[in-house]
Amino acid sequence: MFKKLFGSSEKVAPANRLATVRNITVGRTVSLDPLAWRRLGDETQFALDRDVLDISAQGVVSLDSGQFVHRFYTDDHVMLQAMSDDEAGLESYDFSLFVPWTSAYPPGERERRIWRDRLSAPVFHGAAEELPDYPRFWFAESDAIQPPVTLWETIWDDRAATTPYAKIFQTCMLYARELGGGRELMLALEQQPEGGDTTHEIMIGIPLEMAEFRA
């Protein structure tokens, strides 16, 4: 997501300037406390079969507000996400963990329009994906139709690389539902990689406390 990764006029961004967030970066492992999702019990759709993540790629999103979103991926697309007020990720907060739920290739513009309409509604009705309904978390103060958020993510898969692995334009909305043991998140998005095929993705997530993970 989406502009120059490092805000520099240099044509090649130094790879060693990739963010390291709480010691997390490409090539490292992250240990998780399984209680982070087990406390949600049988109510949650979130499921993860391990408590260690091998980070093989990381992405960064530069928001118009001046904040940054840092994303760390495994080979099977589990994503650990953090927010920060600085590009280096030194002041990080608002951690979350997401696992893939569905991925589909829209056959045409009609399907893309229907997906965008679903992402614009105050409640995402998830029956088609075998999910419950999720109220909108972003823009939760309004029941009006709200266009989804658009972002660019720049992804790197090697700290020694001089060019990013991918740049992906995303149209997305974040949802949440309150369970007896805590909050469950759902991220629905359309991904348009440069030079690649458009996909529609759903990821199920949970908030993470700082004590619930370490690298």
What is the per-residue pLDDT across 126-179, written as a single tens digit (0 to 9) for each?
A: 999 999 999 999 999 999 999 999 999 999 999 888 899 999 999 999 999 999
Name the pLDDT band for 16 (thresholds 50, 70, 90).
low
Name the pLDDT band for 8 (thresholds 50, 70, 90).
very low
What is the per-residue pLDDT across 181-195, written as a single tens digit (0 to 9) for each?
A: 999 999 999 999 999
CA angle 15, 19, 25 (to 5 degrees): 90
Q: What is the mean pLDDT of the chain?
A: 92
Domain residue spans in the chain?
15-214
**pTM of the entire predicted model:** 0.90
Closest of 44, 92, 48, 45 to residue 67, by C-alpha: 92
Mean pLDDT of 89-107: 97
Name the pLDDT band for 78 (thresholds 50, 70, 90).
very high
Is residue 10's pLDDT more than 70?
Answer: no
The pLDDT of residue 11 is 43
The pLDDT > 70 percentage for the chain reads 92
The pLDDT of residue 24 is 97
Instruction: Spell out a b/e string for 142-174, using b for 16 or more CB atoms within 10 Å of the CB, else e.
Output: eeeebebbebbbbbbbeeeeeebebbbbbbbbb
> Would residue 148 be called left, alpha or beta, if left means φ above 0 and alpha means ψ between -120 and 50 degrees?
beta
Answer yes or no: are the C-beta atoms of 170 and 152 closer than 8 Å.
Answer: yes
Mean pLDDT of 203-215: 97
